């Protein structure tokens, strides 16, 4: 496989394997298999720009690259499609207890070296694990 | 691409990721769930729920599955991981044998 894209609608993401030379209609036909909606009822949109992708053009034509996110909207009636709706998770920085692990971050700024060090401590199965990451700005 | 050739992975928050089975079985744990004879419900429904894996982590894992397939076929690119995801990814990767 050459590449894949992530097609998102609401809380669902479809990973679609494809090639840069695939047309948008090809993508819709693959999606048709997964979502039981004919290509004519699908609209694919670049969520950042709102640009609607054209069936007859290729992914490369429309600068859709590997791992890109594309929004899927479905037809509501003869003349109208749904609005883009991609639900975003809010779990990114939340601490959580999983498998009894508790963790926190300490950031240490080393002025002389201008290096951020991110120190991660966690307890997994009663073993204290320390991980030091160096991030060079 | 047929529905039967895909599996739906569901995060702790109920977000769904529909991926190729060929990609998902990069995880030995998922491979076992989908191929062991008879018993797992996951095999029949083509869905696997991970109550302890958050959405952001599960999506990163799915991206890794596809990166792994690309890398194995000779496309050598870097797989980037945000530092704040590192710890949870390690725990999830351990569980998934990935």
pLDDT band at residue B98 using 50, 70 and 90 as cut-offs? confident
* Within a domain: A68: yes
Together in a domain, A121 and A66: no
Domain count across chain A: 2
* Distance in angstroms (rounded) separating the CA atoms of residues A28 and B85: 32
Of B11, B16, B87, the CB nearest to A131: B87
Domain boundaries, chain B: 3-96
Query: What is the arithmetic mean of pLDDT over B9-14?
Result: 96
Three-class SS of residue A99?
Answer: coil
Q: Tens-digit pLDDT profile for chain A (137 aa)?
A: 589 999 999 999 999 999 999 999 999 999 999 999 999 999 999 999 999 999 999 999 999 999 999 999 999 999 999 999 999 998 765 444 444 444 444 444 333 344 445 555 555 555 556 666 655 54
Return the pLDDT at A1: 59
The enclosing domain of A39 has a CATH number of 3.10.20.90
Q: List chain A residues with CB under 8 Å of B95.
A: 99
Return the pLDDT at A35: 96
β-strand pairing of A69-77 with A42-45: antiparallel
Together in a domain, A110 and A59: no
Q: Tell me which CATH code domain B3-96 carries.
A: 3.30.710.10
What residue numbers bound the domain in which A25 lies? 3-74
Mutate to test the interface with B, among A5, A6, A10, A17 (most CBs of B within 10 A): A17
Return the pLDDT at A12: 98
Which residue is closest to A89 within chain B, CA to CA? B55
């Amino acid at each position: 496989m050459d590449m894949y894209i992530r097609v998102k609608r609401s809380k669902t993401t479809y990973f679609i394997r494809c090639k840069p030379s695939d047309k948008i209609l090809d993508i819709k036909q693959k999606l048709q298999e997964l979502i039981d909606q004919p290509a004519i009822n699908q609209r694919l949109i670049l969520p950042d720009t709102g640009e609607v992708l054209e069936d007859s053009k290729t992914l490369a034509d429309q600068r859709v690259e590997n791992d890109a996110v594309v929004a899927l909207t479905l037809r509501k009636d003869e003349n109208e499609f749904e609005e883009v709706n991609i639900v975003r998770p809010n779990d990114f920085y939340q601490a959580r207890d999983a498998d009894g692990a508790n963790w926190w971050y300490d950031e240490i700024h080393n002025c002389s070296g201008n290096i951020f060090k991110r120190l991660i401590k966690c307890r997994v199965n009663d073993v204290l694990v320390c991980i030091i990451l160096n991030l060079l700005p | 691409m047929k529905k039967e050739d895909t599996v739906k992975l569901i995060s702790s928050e109920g977000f769904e990721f529909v991926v190729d089975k060929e990609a998902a079985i990069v995880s030995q744990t998922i491979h076992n769930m989908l191929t062991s004879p008879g018993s797992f419900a996951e095999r029949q429904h083509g869905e696997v729920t991970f109550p302890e894996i958050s959405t952001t982590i599960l999506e990163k894992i799915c991206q890794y599955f596809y990166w792994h397939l690309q890398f194995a076929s000779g496309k050598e690119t870097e797989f980037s991981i945000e530092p704040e995801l590192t710890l949870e990814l390690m725990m999830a990767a351990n569980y998934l044998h990935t």
